[in-house]
Amino acid sequence: MTIAALAFVGGTPAADLVTDDDLKVLHPRIVADLWPGKTTYRPQLVKAFDDVLSDLAQRSYVAAQIGDTVPNRAWAKRAVIAKAFSMIFRDFITQDRDRWQMLKDDYQAEYKVLIEAAKLDYDADNSGAVDDEPVAYPLELSR
């Protein structure tokens, strides 16, 4: 199985990777801050997972070749959490430089570092087996 395949585990994107409970570990009162009528942060988690895969693709990773290994899952979980929190806290901002904006900025910065420093177990030759050494693709900037 690959990290990309996790998007369909249980029929729900990232269902077994990150849950509301994972968010509550870092911010215990986060569920109390849900918008009226909402019961979960699942939409933000799904979007965050999609964004992680998209950002990895921009760095030349092919999602189907990213191995489903313990280190990759740990990295992906941290990246999805950081991306999700940056989106969640952005929605709570009510004034410039309030606590929500500072939290959003912190998680956004963490996410950027995670993406830029990604070194994942990867099947570079598409053989069906993860390579011996993790692969880090440099960020290539173009205009």
Per-10-residue mean pLDDT of the chain, 143 residues long, equals: 54 67 89 74 89 91 85 92 95 91 96 95 87 74 46
In-domain check, residue 93? yes
In-domain check, residue 43? yes
pLDDT of residue 98: 93
What is the chain's Cα-based Rg? 16
Residue 105's domain spans which residues?
4-116
Rounded Cα–Cα distance for residues 25 and 51 (Å): 22
How many separate domains does the chain show? 1
> What global pTM score does this model have?
0.84
Rounded Cα–Cα distance for residues 59 and 29 (Å): 35
- DSSP for 98-143 reads -HHHHHHHHHHHHHHHHHHT--B-B-TT-SSS--SS-B-PPPPP--
In-domain check, residue 71? yes
